[in-house]
Structure 1
Amino acid sequence: MCTGLEILALVGLGMGGAGGLIQHNEAQANQAAQARAMNEQLFAMLDKNRRLSEEARLEFDEQLGNFDPAQVGQNLGEAQGERTANLQSAITRDLSGPANIALMGDVPEIVKQAFADQTSRAVANSSANANALGALSGYNDLMLDNQLGITGAARNIGQIGNFAQSNAAMLPALQQYAALEATKPPSIWGQIFSGMGNAAATFAGAKGGLPMGGYNSPAPSGPMNIIPKGY
């Protein structure tokens, strides 16, 4: 039959084990919560960078589409048309201005007609030259537009890459903060049970080494034994 000290020692062991189990479970729960919080930050960063990657891909595809043969032909036609229109607008077709009033006096009709013919031929030649120059210059304009587009796309894609790198660089700090936010302080019950269990076991062990009943041997000098000899 167990004595009171033996029962106290067993109760102390049980309480100490219960306290340790509570602390162990709380530590595991905190580790799981921290892992979830850190993973949430990781997935959030990956989602941000995925959207940035899609934005960069759209930027690249848009510029790549400008070099599709059909698109190149359309862009070239637009560039040539715009350059030709600008050149044509610079040609003076109205010669009735003040600078020509002197020619509108009493000059023979044949002179007037010759002047008109020469003017018409000059205008026609200028118009033809404008068309030819517009068609030729359209290539240069198209290449310049493409180069500007490539430069702008490269700049935008570089900025997007910088944003993605910043998100990745901030991840460790965000994960650490999220883990701290997810951590719960340990409850007092684990410490209480462990403390009371240790106190009970220590008390029972100390008392178990004192003379009890007909047993007069001195307390052992080695490691403390919480179960009296002879049990």
Structure 2
Amino acid sequence: MGTSHNHLSAGGRPPCPDHFCSCYGSERERGSYLRAFVREGLRGGERIVCIVPEDPHRLRDFCLGPLPEGALSAPPTEQAEFLRPESVFMQEDVFSADQALYQLESCIRQAQDLGFRGLRVLFDGGWLRANPLGIHQVVEYESRVNAVIRSLPCRVLCLYPRRVLSRSFLVYVLLAHPYLLRGDRLFFNPCHGDYDLLMTAATAKDVYSKILKRLQAVPR
């Protein structure tokens, strides 16, 4: 974990999926990603930070309990933190890429200082439905995350509701991520960083479909 996405393996893929996303279609699908990502991090001894649009306490209960006795090295409430977006990366009610990346780096250092094996960050962009200000900054943030977490023990999962956010925005989201989750499978995204695709299709919907068709399943 924590290898550079700028150095590809022999198969043309980044060596490890440290930054990936899913454009979920239902709350049930979203919930399954949330719970699996958090619990995998708990079992792996990682610090977890979830940035979510709803009541953090309710989501904490959903993700953390019940857990098998003796399965964790630290109480889950000390290992996992659930926060609202405005407390992490909003400046005057507008998303700030610089603020978000600064907070990400700070969280990585804090996790290491506390003795955790690494950091897991779950970013849920569902809040953009009600507060789209600074949405272009979200695209900038996503495009810069790979450089920030390069060679650091950090995994970032980004969730976006595809039924309410525009395809023109989601296309940029997909292009910023080396890996995508669809259903219960992880896929390598060979279109990652290929923004020239935006010039080769008539509509954002066409680009979106083209990206999905080119995905390559990662062996289980």
TM-score by length of 1: 0.15
Greater helix fraction, Structure 1 or Structure 2:
1
Bigger strand fraction: 2
- Flag the structure with larger Rg: 1
